[in-house]
Amino acid sequence: MSEKKQHSNIIMAAVGFAVVVVAVGIIGLLTLGGEEETLQGEVEVSEYRVSSKLPGRIVELRVQEGDYVKVGDTLAILEVPEAEAQKRVLEATGDAAEAMSQMTDEGARQEQIRSAYALLQQAQAAEEIARKTYSRMQNLFDEGVVSGQKRDEALASYKATQAQVKAAQGQYDMARNGARRQEKLMAAKNAQAAKNAVDVMTSILKETVQVAQVEGEVSEVYPMVGELVGLGSPIISISVMKDLWGTFNIREDKLQGLGVGTTFTAYVPAFGKDIEMKVYYMKDKGSYAAWKSTKATGDYDRKTFEVRARPVTKLEGLRPGMSLIMKER
């Protein structure tokens, strides 16, 4: 009996050892070889920053963080006293330039036109007298009363007055039609330049009222009412909620089956739902994000790639910052 018992104990020990080995193997497979690496990403969104072309003071904020705005909604109002004063100066300069243009076109030149017209009338009157005188002398010459010399003198005087009329007519036409054309053109250009300067300043002053250029959610308001903001300083950030995507940082040896245009399924823990996503961007993140080899031989460095994918179908309530778990492909 003792030998049988001893033999039974040996068998039981062997079986027990085998069970332990199998258990350890199973546990090893489950804990080491069978563990699946989790590829986790995050929802991101396009951000639009509202800033001013002018330095100024915030006098009113029409929105707060969390508000949803549409294109054209007023976001903030700034006060820029220096620019408003400059506009008033430019307007005054423009008015003066316009007045000068009108004066050049109508005021001072009218005096010259009237003077030239008076000279023309005098020349025409003198011509008429000389014509009548010549006509009488011609008749008297034909009757033999006066000599040919007197007739010729009257003819010469008549021709001289005709020349005077022609010259006076030219002076009158020049004064009326453009004796000062260059000055008129210069005055008109000065007036237009002044008007353009006012238009530019008016356009710039529109920047004192900041309106939304995109539709989205106000994610951050930087200044408070009463604070000064510098040229180009951000005032408000708007998250464009229609442009959401997921970003995953994936080691290159885990990229099998992924490429621009491919789709995969991601789990959204916030909703406990799956969502289909389509890759539209892949880029090497550079050497700073490489997985360095730790073995002396037989291993290699692995680079990390940034992979971006957009939801194929809309998931209501999806927000920036939410986690995405890429499922096995």
- pLDDT, tens digit, 9 for 90 and up, residues 7-52: 555 555 555 555 555 554 555 444 444 445 788 999 999 999 999 8
Q: Band the pLDDT of 271: cuts 50, 70, 90.
A: very high
Statement: residue 108 has pLDDT above 50: no
- Full 3-state SS string of 285-302: CCHHHCECCCCCCCCCCE
**Residue 65 exposed, middle or buried by CB count within 10 Å (0-12, 13-18, 19+):** exposed
- What is the CATH code of the structural domain delimited by 47-79+208-236? 2.40.50.100
Average pLDDT, the chain: 80
> From edge to edge, which strands make up the β-sheet containing 228-229?
209-211, 74-79, 56-61, 228-229
In tens, the pLDDT along 158-171 reads: 887 888 888 788 77
Q: Are 126 and 119 in contact (CB under 8 A)?
A: no
The whole-angstrom separation of Cα 134 and Cα 128 is: 10
Cβ(93)–Cβ(116) below 8 Å: no
Directed axis angle between helix 148-177 and helix 108-142, to 10°? 160
Q: Per mean pLDDT, which range of 26-40, 49-63, 169-183 is the poorest?
A: 26-40
Which has more confidence, 247 or 98?
247
Region of poorest pLDDT, from 69-78, 106-115, 123-132: 106-115
Around Cβ 218, how many Cβ atoms within 10 Å? 20
Please say whether the dihedral angle defined by the alpha carbons of residues 95, 96, 98 and 99, taken in this order, is positive or negative. positive
Q: How many CA atoms lie within 13 A of 289 on its CB side?
A: 12
What is the rounded distance in angstroms from the CA atom of residue 329 to the CA atom of residue 314? 21
Task: Reply yes or no on whether the pLDDT at 328 is more than 50.
Answer: yes
- Judged by average pLDDT, the poorest of 220-234, 264-278, 279-293 is 279-293
Where are any strands of DSSP class E within 134-233? 209-211, 216-221, 228-229
Closest CA to 322 of 262, 277, 260: 277
pLDDT of residue 81: 76
Q: What is the pTM (predicted TM-score) of this model?
A: 0.56
Instruction: Render the burial of 2-18: b for 16+ CB within 10 Å, e for the rest.
Output: eeeeeeeeeeeeeeeee
Bridge partners for 217 per DSSP: 68, 239
Q: What is the pLDDT of residue 70?
A: 96
Give the number of other CB atoms < 10 A from CB of residue 274: 13
How far apart, in whole angstroms, are the C-alpha atoms of residue 324 and residue 146? Answer: 125
- Amino acid identity of residue 101, one-letter, is S
DSSP letter string over 249-293?
EEEGGG-TT--TT-EEEEEETTTTEEEEEEEEEEEE--GGG-B--
**Tokens representing 59?**
């006098």
Q: For 274-284, write each residue's pLDDT tens digit.
A: 999 999 999 98
Give the pLDDT of residue 32. Answer: 45
Average pLDDT, integer, range 279-306? 71
Residue 325 has pLDDT above 90, yes or no: yes
Per-residue model confidence (pLDDT) at position 33: 44
User: For residue 68, what pLDDT is reported?
Assistant: 96
Q: What is the pLDDT of residues 186-225, one digit of tens each?
A: 767 777 777 777 777 777 778 889 999 999 999 999 999 9
Measured N-to-C along each axis, helices 81-102 and 181-205 cross at an angle, to the nearest 10 degrees, of 160
Percent of the chain with pLDDT over 70: 73
Q: What pLDDT does residue 75 have?
A: 96
